[in-house]
Amino acid sequence: MPRQPASLSSRRRSITLMVLCLLVTALFALLELAPQNRWNAPLKDSENYLQDYFAVHGRMTLVNTNIVLVGIDQPSYEGVIFPEDVVNDPVLAALRERYPWSRRVWAALIDRLAAAGAKTIVLDLIFANEDQSGGDVELHQALDKYGDRVVIGSIFSPVADGQITLTTPYRTLIPDTPGQPAALDRRVGYVDIWLDPDNVMRRAQFRVTNHQLSDAVNAPGSAQLFSLDAQAVAKFGHPEAIPPGTEPRRFRYTAPPGSFPIISVADVLTPNLWQHNYQNGAFFKDKLVFVGPTAVIFQDYHHTPFKPGMTEQPDMAGPEIHLNIINAALHGEFIRESPPQANGLFIALAGLIAATLCRFVRQPLKRLLIILALSGISLYVAKLLYDHANLIVTVISPLLTLNVIGIVSLGYDFVVERLERIKLRHTMGLYFSPRVLDAVLADPGSMQPRRAQVTLLLTDLRNSTPLAEMLGPPGMFELLNRVFEVQTVAIMSEEGNLEHFLGDQFLSYWGAPRSQPDGADRAERSAMKLIAAMETLRTTLIPEVQKLFGYGVALHSGSVLVGNKGSALRLDYGLVGDAVNEAARVEALTKYYGVRLLVTRDTLAQFSRQGIRRLVDRVIVKGKSEPVELFECANPCTPANYPDICTRYKAAYDQYYFGRFPEAQILFQTLATETGDGPSRVLAARCAELATHPPADWNGVWRMDAK
């Protein structure tokens, strides 16, 4: 068949890669532009993680030194403020109680800070109920007196059916008036912060309309409610710093959790500390003082971009988050986010660049390096935009588009380039086992053998001559192929290597060309699979063939030479060694003893699990001078009462081994008669002969005179 022209092959490659580029680009564009769901959640999370990395490691908002955090850092100051300190001081006495304290504490705090010249005082607290200690009057007076400087909190609470309720300060503090609900009072701001879907605080919402709150306030739907932070910024003298609109605005953080120094509220209200540490309040002059709960017990901590692994303190106190928002507003540090249309264009551009590279850069390594360089440049530019242009652009989806297309194109080129080699390897695999094929391809033509310790599995089909006469050459050929098929599957399933198909004989091995520490176990499992498969094959044969169909399996371990053998013109990879000959002798003995499987002690000793087995005999096979111990292991052909047979056989064999042949003959003969056991029948006949002609130098080993 003539080869296709190069231009046709190139055109087919280009069309295929262009289609792949379009599919990958469309996929990532769809995932990026779709609302977050379970399919694109990992993509969105990855984008958030990268942007959080920029937030943590990029430029941060400069700290406004006129912002102060006064923290409720303990639920009670009983251990800090002593009884002698509270004489004639009801405020300090109240601080010794458990939180919530009398509202005269907050009235006194406002009075003290305002008198010291604090420009803005923000209380991140909700005074929802009446103060039973009577402190509402004092707090109301402080709020009225310093209303142009003080802000306190309100909070939204969702209820059934998507409705929202708004909790405002108790009516004795800031009452509703005709046309002016307390929620719209300039002294009130909502303390709520809205987390992103992954429960991370990244955006601040400075105002909402009454309509957005399902008309929770008795006011027109267009009425605007301001956040605690917005009211604080306005009263600090910078109303223009509040971003327009009601959309959440991403802000640039100032510092990691715990970076704002916390001044204890008890320190501010303790006269001695107020005088010595804060110069009688001069420290607070012209400052924005933010008061809120900072102790962990108040559970006002939230996730921020400073995740575990990025910082030692992953969660940030609510008051500290508010300070980050206020500081960002005062510096105008809000981050613009690229619109969805721009994100789609970025992904399309990445797809176009990838397609261009696939079309014109054919060298895989060069193309990969260009893609990696472009990815690094994209990340660098994205961080520059974040740090210096207050702009966040989507990065992950375009980079994934670029890199996935690059990887897909590399894979495609690799498949196309390697196709002929794969076909060649497949063809050679019909003649070699995978491990042998690797060894041959690694050093083709080498005539240097190496020594290896292997476990051999040898099997032989019995009655080949009568079977061939019955089936004829085509039928015998078909039967051999079926036998070799089941045997090959059994061997290959345990990563064995096939030596050769020699007539009706089949040799395989483990431990070469690469070592296999569990080779003996694999050989045993393979033998069990082989026997089971052969018995299944037997049932598919016609009755006449079933009568002649027989085989034996032997497992033996030893040292061999492995490598190419032959001539420079014709090579054959295989094994050479005495262990191969001995395995053949052992396999022949399966017919002699009437068993399916024999295992030598050399192999049995390597099994990690011995299982049910019996020592069949100790023999010296023909052509050898050293005895070999033969074992039979439980296999698919052994009977259900095989454990009992093993026990009785051992008792008989012990008598035989110690030369008590008449006693052994009786035991063997009884076992053979009752169970039809082949080894017992052989040993019974041998004991009869030995009882008649006792050997003078008996050592329990029988010498085989025939193969």
pLDDT at 160: 66
**Most confident stretch, 155-169, 251-265, 417-431:** 251-265
DSSP H or E run through 519? helix 519-539
pLDDT of residue 164: 85
Residue range 247-263, pLDDT digits in tens: 999 999 999 998 999 99
Based on the domain organization, do 499 and 609 belong to the same domain? yes
Last residue of a domain, one of 283, 305, 332: 332
Identify whether residues 562 and 687 lie together within a single domain: no
Same domain flag for 557 and 497: yes
Contact 600, 586 (CB under 8 A): yes
> Quick one: 319 and 359 in the same domain?
no
Instruction: List, in sequence order, every residue forming a beta bridge with 598; answer none if it has no partner.
Output: 554
Residue 66 to residue 211: CA distance in whole angstroms: 36
Question: Does residue 200 fall inside a structural domain?
Answer: no
| Domain match, 106 and 85 both | yes
> What was the pLDDT predicted at 3?
44
Residues 515 and 658 in one domain: no
pLDDT at 335 over 50: yes
Instruction: Count, in order, helices (H) and strands (E) of the chain.
Output: 21, 24
Which two tokens mark 559?
């040292």
Domain membership flag for residue 431: no
Lowest mean pLDDT among 143-152, 226-235, 412-421, 519-528: 412-421
Higher pLDDT, 690 or 410: 690
Kindly report, residue by residue over 456-507, the tens digit of the pLDDT: 999 988 888 899 899 998 999 899 889 989 988 998 889 888 876 666 788 8
Read off the amino acid at residue 135. Answer: G
Are 489 and 597 in contact, with CB atoms under 8 Å apart? no
Q: Point out the domain boundary residue: 332, 348, 368.
A: 332
- Do 553 and 520 belong to one domain? yes
Q: Is 557 exposed, middle or buried (0-12, 13-18, 19+ CB in 10 A)?
A: buried
pLDDT at 1 over 50: no
User: Do the domain assignments include residue 582?
Assistant: yes
For residues 459 and 596, membership in a common domain is answered with yes
CATH code at 626? 3.30.70.1230
Q: Does residue 434 belong to any structural domain of this protein? A: no
The model's pLDDT over 496-537, given as tens digits with 9 standing for 90+, comes to 888 766 667 888 899 888 888 999 999 999 999 999 999 999
Structural contact between residues 511 and 455, judged by C-beta atoms closer than 8 angstroms: yes
Least confident of 193-197, 509-513, 617-621: 509-513
Asked if residue 483 and residue 553 are part of one domain, the reply reads yes
Q: Is pLDDT at 425 greater than 70 in this prediction?
A: no
Clarify whether residues 397 and 285 are in a common domain.
no
Residue 605 and residue 529 in one domain: yes
pLDDT tens sequence across 59-80: 999 999 999 999 999 999 998 8
At residue 28 the predicted structure's pLDDT band, cuts being 50, 70 and 90, is: very high
Reading the block at residue 553, the tokens are 């399996």
Q: Which of 606, 633, 660 is the last residue of a domain?
A: 633
Residue 509 bridge partners (DSSP): 456, 497
Same domain, yes or no, for 607 and 488? yes
Indicate the burial class of 293 (C-beta count within 10 angstroms; 0-12, 13-18, 19 or more). Answer: buried
Work out the pLDDT band at 421, boundaries 50, 70, 90. Answer: low
Question: Across-strand partners of 154?
Answer: 190
- pLDDT tens-digit profile of 204-228? 999 999 998 888 888 999 999 999 9
pLDDT exceeds cutoff 60 at 630: yes
Q: 532-554 as b/e, with b when 16 or more CB fall inside 10 Å?
A: ebbbebeeeeeeebeebbbbbbb
Residue 212 inside a domain? The answer is no
Count how many domains the chain has: 4
Is residue 193 in a domain? no
Q: In the prediction, which pLDDT does 426 show?
A: 56
Q: Is residue 78 part of a domain?
A: yes
Q: Where are the beta strands (DSSP E) in 489-570?
A: 497-502, 505-510, 551-566
Between CA 327 and CA 302 the distance in angstroms is 18
- Would 435 be classed as within a structural domain? no
Share the mean pLDDT of the chain: 89
Which domain, by its residues, includes 697?
639-707
**How many whole angstroms from its chain centre is CA 360?**
36
pTM: 0.61
Residue 407: how many other CB atoms lie within 10 Å: 13
Cis status, amide bond into 100, omega within 30 of 0: yes
